[in-house]
Amino acid sequence: MGRNNLKATFSFVICVSFLGSGLAIGGREAAGTTPGDNARLAVPYADVQRLLDEKCTSCHTGADAARGLRLDSWQALIAGSDHGEAVIPFDAVRSLLVELTTELVGGPHPAEVGGETLNDAEVALLREWIDEGAPSDTGEIPFADAQHLLYAANQSEAVISVIDMETNQVIRTVDLQQHGFQENASPHHIAVEPDGSHWYVSLITANRILKFDRDNNLVGEIDFVRPGLLALDSDGDNLYAARSMAAVRPPQEIGVIRRSDMTFEEVGIFLPRPHALAVRPGEGTVYTASLAVNQIASFNPQDEAVELYELGGDRTHTLVGFAVSPDGRWMVGTTELTGYVFVFDLDRTPALTPVDTLVVNAAPWHPVFTPDGRWVYVGNNRDNTVNVIDMDTRTLAKVIEGNGLAQPHGAAMSPDGRFAYISSRNLEMSEDQGRAGHMYTPRYDLGDNGRAGTVVVIDTDSQEIVKIIEIEGYGSGLGAAAPN
Ligand code: HEC
């Protein structure tokens, strides 16, 4: 494999490497999922329940509990409300229960509805219990056995939200600052092992790609200049990395990372600003495309051949994302500036001449296929819509609108194909950016509402939004084990 252009970036990489590893040493161990040892717990759940019974359950019990949130048992508290989780185990600061009872504007809750506010000692008790993992009275940690996890990058806050795809609620957060990274580390995209054992995240500003295990322990990392999208070959050992949009003149190379030992090479692909990225299942060819010129490159890991393809058009398309159908036959490519979804038939020669060009809503971003290959979901970054493409007819079948979509960005699918997930940045935009008035307003005013990204859950039967999951600031890339 070539190491073209590596020299140009060498000194920069070294410098970042020293800085990052020095800081990482101080990082504390991430929140695990091992059931707690009851004997060591400082706060028994019985103390928490006693407090809730005293100050909360008058309104939060039974069939007409406020917002459907029952606080009369550990199970009910962990199940959350009709809208989402009340606690995120190991993360009191970002748990709604604590946020509402300490920071609600016009509160703190429940003062605004006539209830009695918690005193400092009571808040401290709740915080401590949540930071210990919100264990039950037998030491059970919520969602320790959750099977199907969705990872959402919060690009402006160096936080990854982990969502359980059964209950569609946030069950963990991974705070990169606790691993020694800066608040501006900019986590961008996530790839997950097919068996869920590990996940990888690109950090644009920190120039890193990290590997975490299922319990969110940091187990590997590499230096990589301005990483953007990630794609893994589920039949082999390779993880691929392209470059962030934020990089104006990044190396004309993609990263080829061996996941088992995190050794890597950079492969020259001879086009500027490689961004879109996808792997063809089975044979393992990887495709990338330029943000700057109408070119696509393929890299075949078997013979290490790189091929360049010209894509027609008299304007620059700026290809943003690629996705390949689970059977490996079709690839779609989304374009920012022309607003197209290109459809490629990878069985044809030449494969990278589109067989269809669909005109869709503005700035289609990350696409994802349903597991049966029938539909493609993609959020439109400048229209606050989601386009659903029918791959049988290769037409735009539906435009989904609704609350929660605010500069849609990432896309993922539950493994059973029941839910499609679209993240939104929800950044405040000025009028001249044409996106003002499209903000999502979180359901509670905690004084920091400019910093709330979302993940909308779309039921793939009805093709409607069925839930809005509130995450942290600037929801960007999503990752789940297959099919994306
Ligand atoms: C007087 C009735 C009352 C009391 C007492 C009360 N709540 Fe609430 N709670 C409400 C109402 C009403 C809402 C919905 C708020 C709204 O619609 O703005 C709510 C909402 C919540 C939510 C958000 C649910 C969601 O997902 O939207 C949480 C968490 C919560 N309460 C926790 C507590 C805790 C903890 C206590 C005890 C310290 C408490 N509440 C005491 C009435 C009450």
| Angle (nearest 5°) at CA 244 between 281 and 458 | 60
Q: Which long-range contacts (CB under 8 A, 24 or more apart) does 68-74 make?
A: 73/49, 74/45, 74/49, 74/136, 74/137
Cβ 345 vs Cβ 333: under 8 Å? no
Cβ of residue 65 lying under 6 Å from some atom of ligand 1: no
Question: What tens digit of pLDDT does each residue of 358-400 get?
Answer: 999 999 999 999 999 999 999 999 999 999 999 999 999 999 9
pLDDT of 449 > 80? The answer is no
Question: What tens digit of pLDDT does each residue of 142-174 get?
Answer: 999 999 999 999 999 999 999 999 999 999 999
CATH at residue 296: 2.130.10.10
Mutational pocket test of ligand 1: of 85, 113, 122, the residue with most ligand atoms within 8 Å of the beta carbon: 113
Please compute the mean of the pLDDT values over residues 284-297 and round it to a whole number. Answer: 96
State whether residue 422 is helix, strand or coil.
strand
Which pTM value belongs to this model?
0.91
Of all residues in the chain, the percent with pLDDT exceeding 70 is: 89
Name the residue range of residue 166's domain: 149-480
Residue nearest atom 2 of ligand 1, based on CA coordinates: 59
Q: How far is CA 49 from CA 120, 123, 213, 470, in A?
A: 17, 13, 33, 26
Q: Is residue 75 assigned to a domain?
A: yes
Please compute the mean of the pLDDT values over residues 422-427 and round it to a whole number. Answer: 94
d(CA 164, CA 196): 12
Residue 169 forms beta bridges with which residues? 164
Cβ of residue 98 lying under 6 Å from some atom of ligand 1: no
In a shared domain, residues 153 and 120: no
Least Cα distance to 211 among 182, 183, 237, 246 occurs for 237
Sheet holding 274-279, edge to edge: 274-279, 286-290, 295-300, 305-310
For residues 439 and 368, the model is more confident at 368
Question: What tens digit of pLDDT does each residue of 207-228 get?
Answer: 999 999 999 999 999 999 999 9
State whether residue 44 is helix, strand or coil.
coil
Q: Which two tokens stand for residue 136?
A: 């039950």
- Ligand 1 midpoint to CA 83 (Å): 12
Q: Where are the alpha helices (DSSP H) in 25-161?
A: 45-55, 74-79, 96-103, 120-131
Residue nearest atom 29 of ligand 1, based on CA coordinates: 97
Computed over every residue of the chain, the mean pLDDT equals: 90
Please compute the mean of the pLDDT values over residues 453-474 and round it to a whole number. Answer: 97
pLDDT of 443 > 60? The answer is yes
Q: How far is CA 454 from CA 65, 439, 451, in A?
A: 25, 11, 10
Cβ of residue 32 lying under 6 Å from some atom of ligand 1: no
In a shared domain, residues 355 and 240: yes
* Type and span of the H or E element at 12: helix 6-24
- Ligand 1 midpoint to CA 283 (Å): 53
Cβ of residue 446 lying under 6 Å from some atom of ligand 1: no
Residue nearest atom 12 of ligand 1, based on CA coordinates: 66
Of 97, 131, 165, the one marking the end of a domain is 131
The domain tally of the chain equals 2
- Ligand 1 midpoint to CA 81 (Å): 10
Residue nearest atom 26 of ligand 1, based on CA coordinates: 81
Please compute the mean of the pLDDT values over residues 409-421 and round it to a whole number. Answer: 97
In a shared domain, residues 165 and 117: no
Residue nearest atom 8 of ligand 1, based on CA coordinates: 110
Torsion of CA 344, 253, 315, 349, to 10 degrees: -30
In a shared domain, residues 244 and 110: no
Least Cα distance to 272 among 254, 288, 286, 293 occurs for 293
d(CA 287, CA 264): 18
pLDDT of 257 > 90? The answer is yes
Residue 390 amino acid letter: D
Q: Is residue 209 assigned to a domain?
A: yes
Q: Is residue 204 assigned to a domain?
A: yes
Residue 433: what pLDDT? 58
Q: Is residue 65 assigned to a domain?
A: yes
Q: How confident is the model at residue 111 (pLDDT cuts 50, 70, 90)?
A: very high
pLDDT of 430 > 90? The answer is no
